[in-house]
Amino acid sequence: MAAATKQPTTTARLRAEYGQRIRNELQKELGLANVHDVPRLEKIVVNVGLGRAKDDKKVMEAATNTLRKITGQEPMVTIAKKSIATFKLREGNKIGLKVTLRGDRMYEFMDRLINIVIPRLRDFHGVSAKAFDRQGNYSFGMVDQSVFPELTFDETTTSHGLQVVFTIKSHGPKDARALLTHFGMPFEKENK
């Protein structure tokens, strides 16, 4: 019986960079005594809200295809928990899709987002620095999915937006922003 050869494992570029350089730089920059206090990325959630999809199955299929291609994972359908008459929404309606990314897929998605997708946005001057919550999680939305290079022109004819949420373990927005800045997130310049 032949010995099994071990396949070489590859680590996502940003994950390796975080372990080798960014973590140490952040520890010094933020004045943290313990390396475990350094902010780190826990997960990325990509969400598509499709309120109009309950009437149009084509939109749901297009959004499912989009998320599958840009994240490499099968999206999970989100369902309405309550009925709201004003929005013509009933409990149990399919209202969106989401994908939760962790590990290497998370870092690879973030790398493509920061270095390929965001620079392709039209009239882009940087992402808002005000989109942090109290815990340091960051979210931003995009109105059109056509900037992702994984999608063909035919796949972008049914336009829909998406929201990306970075869940960051940190001591607050200041530390989380430092982490995202080291990863290369292009924050807009503050006017003083």
Instruction: Please tell me the pTM assigned to this model.
Output: 0.83
pLDDT digits (tens, 9 = 90+) for 47-73: 988 876 666 777 788 888 888 888 889
Q: What percent of the chain has pLDDT above 70?
A: 88
Query: Which of 33-42, 92-101, 135-144, 150-159 is the least confident region?
Result: 150-159
Mean pLDDT, the chain, whole residue set: 82
| Measured distance CA(25)–CA(22) in Å, rounded | 5
Going from the N-terminus, what domains does the chain have, and what CATH number goes with each?
13-22+38-183 (3.30.1440.10)
Calculate mean pLDDT across residues 126-133: 85
Cα dist. 173→19, 55, 110, 156 in Å?
A: 21, 39, 19, 34
Query: Given a cut of 60, is residue 35 above it in pLDDT?
Result: yes
Residue 44 has pLDDT above 90, yes or no: yes
- Residue whose structure tokens are 């292009």: 186
pLDDT value of position 185: 87
